[in-house]
Structure 1
Amino acid sequence: MTPEDRFPGPELPDSGPRPQQDLDVLPYGSYFEPAEPPAGHPYEQTYTGFGGARYLEQHWPTPGHLPPAQQGLALGGAVGQEAAQAPGHYVPTGHFEGGYRSEFHAGEATPGGHPQPEFHPGEAAPAAHPQPEDPPTIELGPIPDPPVEVHFPYPQPEPGEAPGPLYVIGDVHGYLDELLAALHQQGLIDDEGHWAAGRSRVWFLGDFTDRGPDGIGVINLVMQLAAEAAAAGGYCRALMGNHELLFLGAARYGDEPVQSTAGTASFLAAWRLNGGQQHDLDRLEQHHISWLSRLPAIAIEDGHLLLHSDTTAYLEYGQSIAEVNDAVHVVLADEGIDEWWDCFRKFTKRFAFRGQAGPPAVHELLDAYGGYRVVHGHSPIPYLTGVDQEDDAPPHVPGPYIYADELAIAMDGGVTMEGRLLVARLPLN
C-alpha cells in the first residue's frame, strides 16, 4: 500500500506552468551540488532511491485513525472528482469538522553530536566548502504568567483538556489554490475557506511568496486564519523563511547596493532572480510588512523543532529560541542593509542534515533549542533526495520525507516544480 492509498492528497488545481528555478541562488553564484559524493561527506545514501529514508507508508494515518469527516478522503474521497468539474479551479466537496484531539507521543532526545558541514551558496565559485549549519526553534510570542483571567491569545483549555492536534505546512510560494485545496482536504478550512479546525494548532514553515501566482493572497489567507483560529480556541502561526527576508529586503532597500563576497548586488536583483513577482510587490501593504517582520525564525511544539531552512546557521544568532528570534527581529528593525543581507544569505543555506554528517548536525540544534526531531521546509524533497526525474515528468512526492536517522522531516514537497504542497499532522510515527 502506498502513501497515496493511505492518505491521498487533494487533486491540485492547475495554477499554470512552473517556469521559475526551484533552488534559491545568490547573485553571481549558485549552490554547489556535487555530481559524486565529495571525500569526507559520503552522500551515497541520499543519491540512491530516497536515501534509505522512509516515506510515509508507515507514518500516514490509516482511515480508521482519521476523524470521521476525513475517512472518506482517506478511502479515495471525492475531492478529485469535484475538482475535475472545473479544470484549474478547486471545488470543495463538503464541510470537515475539526478540533478533534490528538495524543502526543514524544520521542527521547539523543545525545548531541558534532556540527554538520553543509554546502552553501558558492558566491565566488562553486566549490565544496563545508560550513557550519543553522539551528531551529523558537516559541512564538511566549505568554507571561498572568492572573487566571489572563487574556490568552486563545481561550484557555478546560482543566485536563489536551491541546488540539498539531499540523505543519511546507513552502507555499504563492500557490494559493493549491494551499486552499490541501487545507480543505485536511479539514482545516471549510467550503468558504474559513477556519474549521477548532482547537487545532497549525504552523506554516515559511516562504509564502515568489515563483507562484499569488503570494499576497497566501499572506492574506494565513493572516485571516490566524485570527479565526484564535477565536475558535486554536492557533495558526508561521515562521519566517528566507523568501520573507528577501521579499521584505526588496521592498525596503530596492536596488540599493549591498556588498557581498560575490561583488555588488541588491535585494531587488536577488529577489527577481529567485522568482520575485512584481504584482506581489505592488500589492504589499504596511500591515503585511508589520506582520511578516514579527514572524519568529524558529519554534518548538510537542518536541518538534520547527524551522524553515535545513541549516545550522540559526546557531549563529543565539543559543536559545528566544535569542535567535530576538536577534533576527533586531536585524529587521534597523540593523542595516549588510546585516540584513547576511541574515538572508545564511538562511538560504541548505542540505545540512543530509548524509552521514546530517544526524550530528540535527543533534547540535536539538541540544541547543530542545526537542527530539527537526521539521523543516526550504529544500524541495526531490532535490534533497537527489533522485533523478525521467525527462519532464513531475517529481513523485508521496508525502513528507523522514531522514537523518529519523531525526528530521522535510516538508517542502516541491509545489513550484509540479510536486506537492504538503500538509502533515504531527507526530508522524
Structure 2
Amino acid sequence: MGRATKVVLAYSGGVDTSVCIPYLKEEWGVEEVITLAADLGQGEELGPIKEKALKSGASVSLVENAQESFVKDYAFAAIRANALYENRYPLSTALARPLIAKLLVEAAEKYGADAVAHGCTGKGNDQVRFDVSIAALNPNIKVLAPAREWGMSREETIAYGERFGIPTPVKKSSPFSIDRNLLGRSIEAGPLEDPWTEPPEEIYAMTKAIADTPNEPDYVEIGFEKGNPVSLNGQTLSGIELITQLNEVVGKHGVGRIDMVENRLVGIKSREIYEVPALLVLIQAHRDIESLCLTADVSHYKRGIEETYAKLIYNGLWYSPLKAALDGFIDQTQERVSGTVRLKLFKGNATIVGRQSDNSLYTPDLATYGAEDKFDHKAAEGFIYVWGLPTRVWSEKTRG
C-alpha cells in the first residue's frame, strides 16, 4: 500500500465512507483526511453530509456541485454515442465515476495530498472505475481502498465506527442498496439477488407503476443540435433542466425501468434494477434523429463502435486512448445531427411518432410511391445484375 500522510477521500456520508476516516488514521497512519462529496443531482441535502465528515474526523469537508459538468461532459457524450451496456443499460451510475475521480485528483493537487481514497468493496465495478481513472489522470498518486482490505462485516464496520463517535445508522427498513444521481437510480441487493424474484414496487422512485400512469398520452418534442439535446417542446433548456423535466414527464408514464442480469467486469453476474427515464428516452430519440441525418455507411459503422464505447465506460476506461479516439469519430459524425424528435408517452411506452431535420437525407420524391416518384425504376435491373453477380457465379461453380 505505501504510507500516505494526507488523503482526499471520496465521501458519500454512508457507513463505509464514514468509517474510512478513522480507519485511515488509526490503522494506516494517515495524518489528515480531507473528504470530498460530489453533488451530481442525487437530490439529498449535502450540508449534513459535510458536517458528518467533520464529526467523523475529517480536517476539511468539501462539497462540489458538479451537475453541469456531469451532464455536459459525460451524459451528453454517452447520448451522442448511444451508449448502452449490453444493449440495455445507459450507464447512469458508471458515468459518475470518472468525474468523481477527476474531482479527487484535482482536490489532491490543490491540498497537497499524496493519496486519494474511496470506500468501494472488492466485488463491484466502481473500484475499477475509480482506480483506473485516477491512474490515468495522475499515475503517481496513491489510491487507497480501506473497505476492500479491512475484512469487516457490516456489523463490525458499524461497531468500529461507534468507537470513534460515528453514530449507528438508523436501522435500515430497506435491504436494498441504492445509488442515485440526476441521470437515474440503480437498485440491487436484498431480495433482488434472486433473479427469479419480481422487484417490489417500493424500490421505484422515479417511475410510476403502469396501473398508476395517466389514461391519456403525453407528447414530447426533443430538439437536438450536433447530437446534443437542447430543447424540450420548443423551449431551449440547460442540460440539467432538460433532464430534470424529462425525468418527471417520462417517469410519470412508467417509462424507464430496466431489470437485467449484467456481466460485471470482475467476472460475476449481478442482477440490477435501473430507473433511467430521461436518459433512456434521450438515447432512443438521438438514435432516431441520426437515422434521418447520417448516411447508411456512417450509421452502420457507428453502430459497430457504440457497443465498444459503452464497454469502455462500464469498464472504467473513460480516460483511455481508445475512448479519446472514438470521441473524435463520434464528434465528427454529429456535425449534422440536428433536428426534432416527437415521442408519445403512454402506459410504459415511449414511442417515436415523428422526426424532422433541416439536414435530413430523407428525400420524399425518391421515397414516394405516388405520381411524383423520381426514382429511376429501369436502373434497378442493371444494379441487381451487378450486385448479384458474385452470388450467381458462386452458385454456378458450386452446383454439382
**What range describes the TM-score normalised by the shorter chain of this pair?**
under 0.3
Structure with the greater alpha carbon radius of gyration: 2
Structure with more strand by fraction: 2
TM value normalised by structure 2: 0.24
TM value normalised by structure 1: 0.23
Higher relative CO (Cα under 8 Å, sequence separation at least 6) belongs to 1
